[in-house]
Amino acid sequence: MERTALWRPASGVAAPKSVETVDDSLTADQAYRLAVQGRAMLWTGDYHNARQLLSALARRLLDGTTGRKKHDGGGVAEEFYRHRQARSQRARILGLLLVPLEAGPAVALRRAPDVAAAWLAASGPVEAAAVAPLQDVLGAIGAQEWRRKGLRVEALDAVIHPHYGTFAPIRSEYLDLVAQAELPSTELAFDIGTGTGVLAAILARRGVRRVVATDSEPRAIACAEENLALLGLSAVVEPVLGDMFPAGRAPLAVCNPPWLPGTAHTLLDNAVYDPKSRMLRAFLNGLAAHLEPGGEGWLIISDLAEHLGLRTREQLLGWIAGGGLEVLGRLDTPAQHPRSMDRADPFFEARSREVTSLWKLGVK
How would residue 71 be classed by pLDDT, with cut points 50, 70 and 90? very low
Q: Check: CB of residue 53 under 8 Å from CB of residue 28.
A: yes
Give the Cβ contact number of residue 49 at 10 Å: 17
State the pLDDT at residue 62: 62
pLDDT tens by residue, 84-135 = 787 888 888 899 999 999 998 999 999 999 999 999 999 999 988 999 999 9
83 pLDDT above the threshold of 90: no
70 pLDDT above the threshold of 60: no
State the pLDDT at residue 336: 76
pLDDT tens by residue, 192-231 = 999 999 999 999 999 999 999 999 999 999 999 999 999 9
DSSP-assigned beta bridge partners for residue 331: 358
pLDDT tens by residue, 139-187 = 999 999 989 999 999 999 999 999 998 888 888 888 999 999 999 999 9
Q: Check: CB of residue 271 under 8 Å from CB of residue 279.
A: no
How would residue 271 be classed by pLDDT, with cut points 50, 70 and 90? low
67 pLDDT above the threshold of 50: no
Q: What residue ranges in 3-161 does DSSP mark as E strands?
A: 6-7, 19-22, 40-43, 97-102, 106-107, 130-133, 151-153, 158-160
State the pLDDT at residue 270: 66
- Between 303 and 286, the more confident residue is 286
- Between 13 and 180, the more confident residue is 180
Phi, psi (degrees; rounded to nearest 5) at 254: -115, 140
Q: pTM of the full predicted structure?
A: 0.85
Alpha carbon distance 107, 47 (integer Å): 8
Q: Check: CB of residue 303 under 8 Å from CB of residue 313.
A: yes
